[in-house]
Amino acid sequence: MIMDRKKEQEVALELVEDALRQVMDPEIPVLSVMDLGMITGIDIASDHIGIRMIPTFSACPAVQVIRGGIKKKLEQKFSIPVQVDIDPEISWNSNRITEEGKEKLRHFKIAPPSAISEWEEGSLSAIPCPFCQSRNTYLRSPFGSTLCRSLHFCRDCGSLFEHFKELE
């Protein structure tokens, strides 16, 4: 069976996307760069692969580790050079996290962000607890273990938990 050029490109793109789903965020190791919506472009040529990505924060300390992880994973899988560039045209926001990514955050006991359009001032005081799902919570600190997280406390189960902040 002979595959036409367009079908070959679609298959190649799916294989690259599958490989990128195995490149995990070093700060939240249950999330891949695809879950976080960090990939903005994939260019596949016969002699190289080009990836465009965006960091979740402009000053994200993990961006070089993530770029290196993408390059290593794709070069190992496809045995051709990979170029990973930061996309200056697009800024990351928390709406880019996939629904699957939000579910993974819940299982990791981090409350996922709401859609930015749903966010309103004061909404950080009723973040659902990832341990018991109660909304009887309050903001303990706007600063968690990383720049993208805040610290909350659940009055019902007594758990301290992190929330992935809504970011525009």
Q: Are strands 160-164 and 149-154 parallel, antiparallel or unpaired?
A: antiparallel
Secondary element (H or E) of residue 94? none
Architecture per CATH, 5-92: 2-Layer Sandwich (3.30)
pLDDT at 74 > cutoff 80: yes
Outline which parts of the chain fall under CATH 3.30.300.130: 5-92
Q: Could you write out the DSSP letters of every residue in 17-37?
A: HHHHTT-B-SSSTT-BTTTTT
Closest of 109, 141, 110 to residue 125, by C-alpha: 141
pLDDT at 150 > cutoff 60: yes
The pLDDT of residue 48: 94
The pLDDT of residue 72: 98
**Model confidence, pTM:** 0.79
pLDDT in tens, 106-147: 999 999 988 765 445 555 568 899 999 999 999 999 888 887
Closest of 101, 99, 98, 159 to residue 130, by C-alpha: 159
The pLDDT of residue 119: 46
